[in-house]
Amino acid sequence: MLRSVKGLKDILPQQASQWQHIETVARTMATQYGFSEIRIPIFEFTELYARSIGGTTDIVEKEMYTFPDRDGSSLTLRPEGTAGVVRAVLEHKLLDSPATRKLFYFGPMFRHERPQAGRYRQFHQFGVEALGIDDPLIDVEVVVLLWQFFLTLGLKDLTLHINSIGTLADREIFIHKLKDYLSPKLSTLCGNCQRRYSTNPLRVLDCKVPMCQEATQDAPILIDYLSDHSNVHFQSVLDGLRSLEIPFSLNHRLVRGLDYYSRTTFEITSPNLGAQSTIGAGGRYDGLFQALQGPSTPAIGFAVGLERVTLLLSEDITCKTAPLVFVAGFGEIGKPTAFKLLHTLRQSGIRADIDHKGKTLKALLRSADKLDADYTIILGDDEVSSGNLILRNMQTKSQEVLNIKEITQRIHKGL
């Protein structure tokens, strides 16, 4: 039997309404916070990601779905959304209007990782980007939107971690200090961290191995090495969060994986997800525009892993659907008459369905029940000859005889 590709998941009808609910909440809230939707392509030139995410990150080094186009140019299925948004913003000069500086997006992302709980090769993200705004209050707005989004969905026990990783210059100074500190302890670190020491020393700080955590207990803290500018900005962000009574946890070990992050970084975690506990994360990326040959532009955004959100959502949360009317037509004349009525109902905007297979009233009612119909219209030969039909409320079992002409009107009035 043919199967789906490893790490890819079908969203079946039962779960689809849950996804619709999440998307509706996301769209509504992002719009309330002044963001507009942007839809960008699923693949781009490989160079875009290599330049933005960082050539030495795992994503670019070994997780991208990269393939040659027919003319030989290298294309890549998007592993995240920010790079594409920034590219589109530069290409269409969206920075020129204040109406297009706050954007949100939705859609599938692709990373060739080993699948695991909450981790897939095709996964979906909802993300926002606020571009060209340096004010710390925009940081607050973005973090609050993320926080409120999860609260609105009813997620519990979440923690908002926040940190500032400073500018590139701030980090250079800090990394130097950190290496000085780690250097004598190198032999006590795990193998991974010994490698990280030279490739990405910041990562040693959030290693889960107890030995490493112990070794970094008294390590220098990034915040202490922030420039005045970075520090003032960060303190303003925290003050803003406090003023809105958003609970947060300062986490000076919080590091981001993508090269373009700077200054404010944040992450929201849930204890109920296993190893992949981050459901949403983001931060500032003031240097990204320049890395893509655009004008120097401060920016901040976040991305939410929607599969992880669905794992936390209670299953009974679904989109409300309109009441369903099942048309049970049977008999020589009843069936064709019912089919015409079905068409009329649908044209009137009513959600209506039929079972072509069912021959007897019993079978048809059973189908109505299986489809979870709210009402069934019973229409047999007897009804056709009398010019009436029966409207049955499936829940209360009450029935009333109606004129065929009245039915649409009747249903529109609230059934």
* Chain positions contacting RNA, by CB under 7 A: 3, 6-7, 57-59, 63, 80, 111, 113-120, 123, 125, 192, 196, 203, 207-209, 256-258, 267, 274-281, 303-305, 307-308, 331, 360-363, 365-366, 368-370, 373, 378, 380-383, 390, 392, 394-395, 397, 399
CB closer to RNA out of 93 and 359: 359
CB closer to RNA out of 279 and 300: 279
Nearest distance in Å: CB 338, RNA: 11
Residue type, 124: H
The string of DSSP letters for 36-81 reads: EE----SEEEHHHHHHHH-TTSHIIIII--EEE-TTS-EEEE-S-S
Nearest distance in Å: CB 296, RNA: 22
Nearest distance in Å: CB 297, RNA: 19
Residue that is written with structure tokens 């019993």 in the block: 362
Nearest distance in Å: CB 70, RNA: 27
Nearest distance in Å: CB 303, RNA: 4
Nearest distance in Å: CB 96, RNA: 28
Which two tokens mark 63? 């997780």
CB closer to RNA out of 61 and 239: 61
Nearest distance in Å: CB 258, RNA: 5
Burial of 311 (0-12, 13-18, 19+ CB in 10 A): middle
CB closer to RNA out of 55 and 98: 55
Distance (Å, rounded) from C-alpha 179 to C-alpha 78?
Answer: 34
CB closer to RNA out of 388 and 408: 388
Distance (Å, rounded) from C-alpha 243 to C-alpha 125?
Answer: 29
CB closer to RNA out of 97 and 198: 198
Distance (Å, rounded) from C-alpha 163 to C-alpha 255?
Answer: 8
Characterize the bridge pairing of strands 102-110 and 122-131.
antiparallel
CB closer to RNA out of 115 and 336: 115
The string of DSSP letters for 247-304 reads: --EE-TT---SSTT-EEEEEEEE-TTSTT--EEEEEEE-TTHHHHTT-----EEEEEE
Distance (Å, rounded) from C-alpha 407 to C-alpha 146?
Answer: 46
